[in-house]
Amino acid sequence: MSSTSAIDGGSTNAPGSGEPSFDARMAEQWYQPRIPRAVLKELMKRDDAAGLRNFVPWFVLLVASGAVAAFTWGSWWAVPAFFVYGTIYSSSDARWHELSHGTPFRTRWFNDAFYHLSSFMTIREGYWWRWSHARHHTHTYFQARDPEIQVTRPTQVLPIIADFLGLVGCTLEIRKVVRHAFGRVDAATDAFLPASEKPKMIWSCRIYLAIVIVTIALAIAMHSFMPLMFVWTPRFYGGWLHQLLGLTQHAGLAVNVKDHRLNTRTVYTNYVFRFLYLNMNYHLEHHLLPMVPFHALPRLHEAIKDQLPPAYPSVYAAYREMLPALWKQRTDATYVIERTIPAT
């Protein structure tokens, strides 16, 4: 069900309005589900084997699809081949995201190695984004506080469509990497990035640029665009699934509320999408308890689903509700999709 709601864009409400001020809502505690301590402890266990069961097949598929794409270069078969490779490559974004929490593996260097690999692949410099992403979990969907709000209020349609090709998000990240590689760090970054991490971030960006420059040099030496098709460009031509599933996380839902049940979705989807998306379709559960590893999210969902709004039965069902809401939010920024919370 959808309706209008008096959502504050960041200022305090007028006296006597009956609505809590923005500052008052910021001071509230986030909703936490009821779950036995022993169950939660079991769900939070990190497991190298469970992590490798996803990451090893994913990496094998990445290499295999890349080999097929290279073999078909110069023929029309290269089009579907690179589409598959780009889709698998772009699923590195889900891996970057989960690895930033340090939860997929028990062994720390597994987490760190895969984290920096996937961060490079998805054009999200690892040191910067590890600290920035913490703000998203601290201030989820709070306007002017959450740096990862995908859909602005009022809705701007063109950037949403453009990011199915990475034209907004990836372009901004490349500019950021270049800027930081030259040591140009703005005050906004200084506000959340510890001083000890700043040199690491700068050198990481320089390594990113060096890899890209070597790739460009290889393409020039080979007189072929093919090397460029394997590094960073897949986030543009193969990022459709990342955007398709990413929009279902929060778009159209309530802002400035400290209850993830009102601003975050869980969406059921097929095995292939769950594999590529690293179970992040259980996004409500992830936000409620972000230290639960991806492989335990389905079990967490079963343990607490009676306390949550119903999960969407499919990606189509989520979009069927979300798209009309986003269209309405073009002209009415206070309009939100209201989620039904079970009585407790």
pLDDT tens column, 56-88 = 999 999 999 999 999 999 999 999 999 999 999
What does the pLDDT look like over 247-295, one tens digit per residue?
999 999 999 999 999 999 999 999 999 999 999 999 999 999 999 999 9
Is the model's pLDDT at 116 over the cut of 60?
yes
The pTM of the full predicted model, rounded to 2 decimals, is 0.90
Per-residue pLDDT at 132 exceeds 90: yes
Distance CA 48, CA 107 (A): 7
DSSP β-bridge partners for residue 267: 312
Mean pLDDT for all residues in the chain: 93
Residue with tokens 């063109």: 158
Which pLDDT value is given to residue 343? 82
- Backbone angle region of 229, left / alpha / beta, with phi > 0 → left and psi within -120 to 50 → alpha: alpha
Residue 51: count other Cβ atoms within 10 Å of its Cβ.
Answer: 24
Q: Is the pLDDT at 23 greater than 60, yes or no?
A: no
Q: Which band of pLDDT confidence, cut at 50, 70 and 90, is reported for residue 24?
A: low
Predicted pLDDT of residue 5? 31
pLDDT band at 28 (very low <50, low <70, confident <90, very high): confident
Please compute the mean of the pLDDT values over residues 126-149 and round it to a whole number.
Answer: 94
Give me the mean pLDDT over the 28-43 stretch.
95
* Pick from 58, 128, 69, 45: nearest CA to 94: 58
